[in-house]
């Protein structure tokens, strides 16, 4: 009897320990401002910097870092220097929320770039709204973040402090379905997602659009993030007769799925969203990744003239992570905040207002953003969505992502 109760007690303790580890620590470094003639303001970054998704998360952090370095070097806002404060959300919504609180609590922070994951963004939006602080995500693609819960019927912006430089899954899922059906000539897709805000949303949009175009859905399934063994799923896909596997989620799971799928002799391509667009996907899946596809936001970063300097600098500084998917968008997001600070300062007799006033005015100034960024024109519509609606399909060719098609959804 004693031993059985020990087992029960142990289980309870483990659950408790898990919950505890999910909570991040708070960082309350309030000051850190410049003591010279220049004021120093901080651009916050929230992204997964370790563990799952950290390759793309680090790309966001260093994308912002380069934007801030460039702004300081070019004296973009005279009399104001910027620095970066990056917090790790480990791709966990609860951690993201506590990071948001920490960033709001730091008086030097004027705005935040991030997070990477749509599910994390949901917990952060309210915190920033209450503090009237601008948040620009370079990568969130879930439609509800800017268009509200009933976005399919009644678009309504839930938070006026939230913006993004990425296009939504509504466009991305449609774009993927069109490419799969019209260009790849795939007629029977198996659709899998990871049950997260981003993955499930994208997969269901693809599912509907693919059916709408005349394609058949061979089956659907859901996986858990952190799963490693997909043998059962692979067997199901094998017998379903699908000629394409569409996956809504991140590279951590999809790289394993594509490897196990192809090891089992199912030679159909895996097609995913921008969450999979990272070199880690190819490194982990190896040869199995060959021929797999993703859609990602914007036009390929290295084809843009403005982005070439960015890519060169990223490589020259030897930063970790991957700039490919969102580095350029992070750069533009940070620049939008910096330019907004400049506009506020110029409109206020060349003086910076106090923290709360500054934050509120920066939100309005970001809304009015209109400049040529390194990824194209940076502007926001009435919902906070980017004006740049370009999307690109990339495919793994000889062990590297290669752009195969650029356009807009519905064209």
Partner 1 sequence: MNTLPQQLANGLLLGSMYGLIAIGYTMVYGIVQLINFAHGEIFMTGAFGALTVYFYVLPDNTAMIVAVPLMLIGGALVAILIAVGAERFAYRPLRGAPRLAPLITAIGLSLALQEVVRNFYPDADRARAFPGLDATHDIGSVTIKDADIFLVVAAIVCMSGLALFVRRSRTGRAMQATAQDPDTAQLMGIDTNRIIVIAFAIGGFFAAVAAVAYGLKYGNVDYRMGFLMGLKAFTAAVLGGIGNIYGAMLGGIVLGVAETLASAYIDGIPGMQQLGGQGWANVWAFCLLIIVLLVRPQGLLGERVADRA
> 207-236 mask for partner 1 (x: CB under 8 A)?
-------------xxxxx-xxxxxxxx-xx
CB of 74 to partner 1, least distance (A): 33
Is residue 256 at the binding interface for partner 1, with CB under 8 A as the rule?
Answer: yes
Residues 269-298 that bind partner 1 (CB under 8 A): 280, 283-286
Taking CA atoms, 367 is separated from 38, 111, 139, 161, 192, in Å, by 26, 13, 18, 9, 36
Residue 166 and residue 137 in contact, taking contact as beta carbons nearer than 8 Å: yes
- Minimum CB–partner distance for residue 281 and partner 1 (Å): 10
- Beta pairing class for 391-397 and 376-379: unpaired
Q: What is the DSSP letter of 182?
A: I
Name the region of 373 (left: φ>0; alpha: ψ -120 to 50; beta: rest). beta
| Binder among 94, 264, 304, 360 for partner 1 (CB under 8 A) | 264
CB of 71 to partner 1, least distance (A): 29
Q: Which of 14, 29, 75, 303 binds partner 1 (CB under 8 A)?
A: 14
Beta carbon of residue 288, minimum distance to partner 1 (angstroms, whole number) = 8
C-alpha gyration radius of the chain: 22
CB 189 within 8 A of CB 244: yes
Determine how many CB atoms are found less than 10 A away from the CB of residue 139: 30
Give the H or E element holding residue 280: helix 279-285
Burial environment of residue 28 by CB neighbours within 10 A (0 to 12, 13 to 18, 19 or more): exposed
Q: Of residues 19, 25, 29, 50, which one binds partner 1 by CB under 8 A?
A: 50
Which residue, 11 or 182, is less far from partner 1 as judged by CB? 11
By CB under 8 A, the count of residues binding partner 1 is 44
Answer yes or no: are the C-beta atoms of 375 and 332 closer than 8 Å. Answer: yes
By CB under 8 A, name the one of 7, 31, 154, 349 that touches partner 1.
Answer: 7
Cβ proximity to partner 1: between 58 and 84 the closer is 58
Footprint on residues 313-332 left by partner 1 (CB under 8 A): none
Q: Are 407 and 393 in contact (CB under 8 A)?
A: no
Could you say which residues in the range 353-392 bind partner 1, by CB under 8 A?
none
Which positions touch partner 1 (CB under 8 A)? Answer: 3-4, 6-7, 9-10, 13-14, 17, 21, 50-51, 54-55, 195, 220-224, 226-233, 235-236, 239, 252, 255-256, 259-260, 263-265, 280, 283-286
């Amino acid at each position: 009897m004693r031993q059985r109760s020990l087992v029960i007690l142990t289980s309870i303790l483990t659950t408790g320990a898990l919950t505890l580890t999910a909570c991040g620590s708070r960082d309350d470094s309030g000051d850190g401002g410049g003591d010279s003639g220049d004021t120093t303001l901080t651009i916050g970054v929230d992204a997964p910097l370790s563990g799952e998704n950290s390759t793309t998360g680090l790309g966001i952090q260093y994308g912002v870092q380069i934007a801030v370095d460039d702004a300081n070097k070019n004296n973009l806002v005279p009399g104001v220097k910027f620095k970066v404060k990056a917090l790790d959300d480990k791709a966990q919504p609860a951690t993201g929320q506590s990071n948001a609180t920490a960033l709001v609590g730091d008086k030097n922070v004027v705005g935040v770039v991030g997070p990477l994951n749509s599910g994390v963004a949901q917990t952060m939006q309210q915190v920033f709204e209450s503090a009237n602080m601008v948040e620009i995500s370079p990568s969130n693609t879930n439609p509800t973040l800017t268009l509200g819960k009933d976005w399919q019927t009644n678009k309504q912006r839930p938070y006026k402090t939230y913006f993004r430089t990425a296009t939504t899954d509504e466009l991305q899922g449609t774009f993927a379905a069109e490419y799969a059906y019209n260009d790849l000539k795939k007629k029977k897709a198996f659709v899998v997602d990871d049950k997260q805000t981003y993955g499930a949303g994208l997969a269901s949009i693809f599912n509907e659009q693919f059916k709408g175009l005349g394609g058949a859905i061979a089956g659907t399934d859901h996986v858990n993030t952190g799963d490693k063994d997909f043998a059962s799923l692979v067997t199901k896909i094998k017998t379903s007769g699908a000629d394409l596997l569409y996956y809504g989620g991140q590279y951590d799971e999809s790289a394993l799925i594509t490897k196990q799928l192809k090891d089992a002799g199912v030679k159909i391509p895996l097609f995913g969203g921008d969450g999979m667009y990272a070199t880690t996907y190819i490194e982990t899946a190896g040869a199995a990744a060959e021929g797999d596809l993703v859609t990602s936001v914007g036009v390929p970063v290295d084809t843009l003239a403005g982005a070439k300097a960015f890519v060169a600098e990223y490589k020259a500084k030897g930063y970790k992570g991957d700039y490919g998917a969102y580095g350029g968008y992070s750069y533009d997001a940070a620049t939008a905040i910096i330019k907004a600070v400049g506009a506020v300062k110029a409109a206020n007799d060349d003086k910076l207002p106090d923290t709360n006033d500054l934050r509120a005015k920066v939100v309005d100034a970001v809304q009015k953003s209109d400049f040529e960024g390194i990824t194209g024109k940076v502007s926001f519509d009435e919902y906070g969505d980017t004006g740049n609606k370009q999307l690109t399909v990339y495919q793994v060719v000889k062990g590297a992502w290669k752009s195969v098609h650029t356009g807009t959804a519905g064209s």
